[in-house]
Structure formats: C-alpha cells, structure tokens
Amino acid sequence: MSALLNMDHKIMEKAFYERDNTYDGLFYVAVKTTGIFCRITCTARKPKREHIEFFISAKQALDHGYRPCKVCKPMEARGKTPEWVAVILAEVNKNPAARMRDRDIKAFGVDPARLRRWFKTNHGMTLQAYLRALRIGAAFGRIKLGEAVIDSAYDSGYESLSGFNDAFKKIFHSSPQKRDFTEVIKTTRITTPLGPMLAGATDEGVCLLEFIDRRMLETQIKRLSKRLRARFTPGINPHLVQLQQELDQYFSGARKQFSVPLAASGTEFQQKAWRILRRIPYGKTISYKEQAVMLRSSRSVRAVARANGDNMLAILIPCHRVIGSNGNLTGYGGGLWRKKYLLDLERKNSTA
C-alpha cells in the first residue's frame, strides 16, 4: 500500500470488494497478476486480496508500471458530467418550464433509457423528477415574492392549478397555500478529488457543503431545515455554479480564497467561531486553544471544537485549519485523511 495514502487498509478493501461508489476516485486498485489498475467500482472479476495494492492516484499507478483497465477506464475524470448529459442539462437550464419528453431527448442523439439510468445513479431520481423539482422550485420563488399561486403554476409550465398543487405536495408535503416553510434550498452533487459533496444554496448564498459520506450529514440537513424553515429540492442556482468553479480552482491550486456568497446558519457563538476560521490564512493552522483565545473565551476550547464540528460549509469555512495544541490532527467530520490532504494541498501551494 502506498505510504502516501492515509486511509485504513480494511476500509479500502471493503470499499473495493463491495464496489462502494462513495470512494470512487479516492484511490485506485492495482492487480499484480495482470498489471492492470482499476477504479474500485470496476465490474471486472475481483482478484484475491494478496494480489492487490492501492494507489492514491492514477499517475502513481502508472509510475509503478500498471496500465489502465479497459472496463472501468480509470484515466477518465471521475464524476464529470458526460457531454451527452451536459447537452440535455444545458437545454433544460435555458427553459426549466419546458417539457423534456423521450422524443425531445432522442432529437439530441441521446437514448432516453440511458439518460434515466445516469440520473438514477448520480442523483437518485429520474430526469422527469429532476425537472419537476426545478419547476416547483422556480414557482416557489415567485410565490415567495408575492405572485399568485395560479400565475406561478402557469408560468412554470403547468397546464392546471390542480396539477401544480399535486406536484408541489409530492415534493414539499404541503400545499402552496398552506405551506409550513419559508425557504427552498436547492441542492446538487459537487465532485472533488476527495469524493462527492452535497451542496445546497438559497437565493442568499451557499448554506451547505459537506462530504456525502459524513455520518452527521442527515442531522445537519435536519438542523438546517429547522433553522431556516426550509425544504430541500434538487436544482441549480448561480451560487452553486460559482461554487463548483471555485472548488475546481481551489483543488488545482489556482485559488486561495473563496468569493462565493455564504449563508451560514448557526447560533451567535457558532457564527463568531466561524468568523475566526475564515480569518486563518491559507496554508496556516491554529490550535483550538488559540481559536478560543481569539474569541476572548480561553476556557471554551470544547465549545469551540463543537462549533467547528457544527460547521456545515466544509472547506469554505476552513475548520480543517484547526489542529491540536501538540500539532496532531484531530476532529474533522470528513475524516482525518481528508484534513491532511487539504492541509498538504494548501502548504504546497502557499509556497509555490
């Protein structure tokens, strides 16, 4: 196993043999008997444990003399939206209210069944469910601004008010006239070298960015929903588009500060703790004790640690830059191996 890879060997083996796509792209598996390296989700027959070794990158596997598998194609960008899907999404974004039937999809040279499978695999829903969520989300925005429900329904492409009400209830579990929430958080899947992340944004800014495999993610979503009196729906807004661009730049070493608007939700103490985090320079670290002192609350080290743990905007609010007083890496919801990766990335690029 590569010495550069800071993941538990048993976790990697389990992910590989179970084809756990949560870890796809985080490491690669090379087979000594064939000289081939694969993604962990490769559908080819699994080799015996004594015949495999792990690498942190495709380049590292190539450097060790392995060649890429022709089945899973590990050299292709992980998580990147295929061009044939991007064409459909571009058309959808032009006019979210428009219908996208099978014949429309075929007009772009795309197989509707293949597109449905891609959406189910990557977003857990069909294209039609995604389109309904987009239309309902846009309609809610107009209702919130005072537009009549019936006008919002027709402007969103619905042919009847009853059809709009039914679709609204399926997504939000309440009618537009008697809704018990005041905000909609649009969510999308963001791809990064450290694995997929769930991103959410309101019209104000990004309010959620967390690794999909984090254990506390479900709890965070419930807290955010309660604090903002919000419901979640799949979709895209300008903040999420900007977020993906800035994260790509960050991981490539081309960006050291984020400018995408944030809408962090927390208590007064948490907000103060997070403001301290955002003032830690790129490539630098402080201890939890130092953070507490900066908050003028030197005895609140544990409270500071809890506030950092409640941060719902990973990377953007850089809680990964806080370490133990002895210099050890501690306390990161995304996993200490990710914390080390982020700190190593920033140290490398801060001196470049």
3-state secondary structure of 7: coil
Q: Strand runs (DSSP E) across 212-300, as ranges?
A: 230-234, 286-287
pTM equals 0.64
Residue 22: predicted pLDDT? 61
Q: To which residue do tokens 């941060």 refer?
A: 311
Greater confidence, 35 or 78? 35
Let me know how long the chain is: 352
Residue 1: predicted pLDDT? 35
Identify residue 218 by its one-letter amino acid code.
E
Residue 73 sits at the vertex; the CA angle it makes with 36 and 107, to the nearest 5 degrees, is: 160
Residue 73: predicted pLDDT? 80
Is the Cβ–Cβ distance between 126 and 120 less than 8 Å?
yes
Residue 140: predicted pLDDT? 66
Mean pLDDT, residues 115-144: 71
Provide the pLDDT confidence category of residue 259 given band limits of 50, 70 and 90.
Answer: very high
Is the Cβ–Cβ distance between 200 and 235 less than 8 Å?
no
Provide the pLDDT confidence category of residue 255 given band limits of 50, 70 and 90.
Answer: very high
- The verdict on whether 72 is a catalytic residue reads no
Residue 299: predicted pLDDT? 77
Phi-psi region of 286 (alpha: psi -120 to 50; beta: other; left: phi over 0): beta
Residue 3: predicted pLDDT? 33
User: Among 118-122, 195-199, 205-209, which is the least confidently predicted range?
Assistant: 118-122
Could you say which of 42, 72, 207, 319 is catalytic? 319
pLDDT per position as a tens digit, 63-94: 677 888 888 887 665 556 678 888 887 787 77
- Does the pLDDT of residue 295 top 80, yes or no? yes
pLDDT per position as a tens digit, 138-183: 666 666 666 665 666 556 556 566 666 666 666 566 666 566 566 7
As a whole number of angstroms, the distance between CA 51 and CA 32 comes to: 5
Matching CATH topology for 9-68 and 81-180? no
Residue range 9-68 in CATH 3.40.10.10? yes
Greater confidence, 87 or 280? 280
Name the DSSP letter for residue 175. -
User: What does the block give as tokens for 211?
Assistant: 């690794």
User: What does the block give as tokens for 332?
Assistant: 């990161």
Provide the pLDDT confidence category of residue 280 given band limits of 50, 70 and 90.
Answer: very high
Residue 2: predicted pLDDT? 37
Helix axes of 83-94 and 112-123: crossing angle, nearest 10 degrees: 90
What's the chain's average pLDDT? Answer: 81
Q: According to the per-residue pLDDT averaged within each range, which of 6-20, 67-81, 224-238, 323-337 is highest?
A: 323-337
Residue extents of the structural domains in the chain: 9-68, 81-180, 274-350
Residue 211: predicted pLDDT? 87
Pick the CATH number of 274-350 from 3.40.50.1220, 1.10.10.10, 1.10.274.30, 2.60.420.10: 1.10.10.10
CATH architecture of 81-180: Orthogonal Bundle (1.10)
